[in-house]
């Protein structure tokens, strides 16, 4: 039982650092996209710095955290294989797949930005940043409630919260543009 608690703790630590990396990488994408609108030489200086920060965050924190969180998760499932029969765990694993898809898209964007290809606006990245938040809320409600139905209410709540965030962002943007 003590080993189980250590594995669970390490899984949780790496899930937290994984999400921290995902939240911050997209914030760096916002700043990177905005740097393309700056005059020279400020633009070149900022872009070079953001590329370095993105690279370090992505390869030193985010990817290793994702891999380690998954390794410890598989270990936990090896210890408790009956969890795989639980509907809440099956839904959670679906969200983990979705999180990896989100990370894969972030990786694609990361590689584009490293090659000085800015295909999205800072506004797109601000909205994109909410993807990981939605997944986080869904997974936390699911794991705490351990009920494949009740998590839906949590997700509906976070969707409504996201709508409020978007409205708040639009208001902030209007104020900032004045």
Q: CB atoms < 10 A from the CB of 30, how many? A: 19
Residue listed under structure tokens 């694609």 = 108
8 is in an annotated binding site: no
Residues 20, 21, 25, 28, Cα dihedral to 10°:
60
Distance from the first to the final alpha carbon of the chain: 59
Consult the annotation and say whether 11 binds a ligand: yes
Q: Is-contact 167 126, C-beta < 8 A?
A: no
Q: Can you tell me the distance from the alpha carbon of 69 to that of 77, in angstroms, rounded to the nearest whole number?
A: 12
Q: Which residues are annotated as a binding site for heme?
A: 11, 92
Q: Which residues are annotated as a binding site?
A: 11, 92
């Amino acid at each position: 039982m003590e080993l189980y608690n250590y594995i669970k703790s390490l899984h949780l630590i790496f899930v937290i650092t994984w999400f921290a990396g995902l939240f911050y990488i997209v914030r760096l994408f916002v700043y990177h996209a905005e740097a393309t609108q700056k005059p020279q030489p400020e633009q070149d200086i900022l872009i070079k710095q953001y590329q370095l920060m993105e690279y370090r965050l992505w390869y030193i924190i985010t990817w290793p955290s994702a891999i380690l969180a998954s390794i410890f998760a598989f270990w936990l499932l090896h210890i408790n294989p009956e969890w795989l029969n639980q509907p809440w765990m099956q839904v959670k694993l679906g969200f983990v797949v979705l999180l990896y898809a989100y990370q894969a898209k972030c990786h694609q964007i990361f590689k584009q930005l490293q090659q000085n290809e800015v295909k999205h606006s800072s506004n797109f990245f601000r909205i994109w940043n909410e993807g990981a938040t939605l997944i986080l809320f869904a997974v936390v409600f699911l794991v705490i409630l351990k009920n494949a139905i009740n998590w839906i209410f949590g997700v509906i709540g976070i969707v409504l919260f996201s709508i409020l965030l978007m409205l708040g962002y639009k208001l902030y943007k209007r104020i900032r543009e004045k």
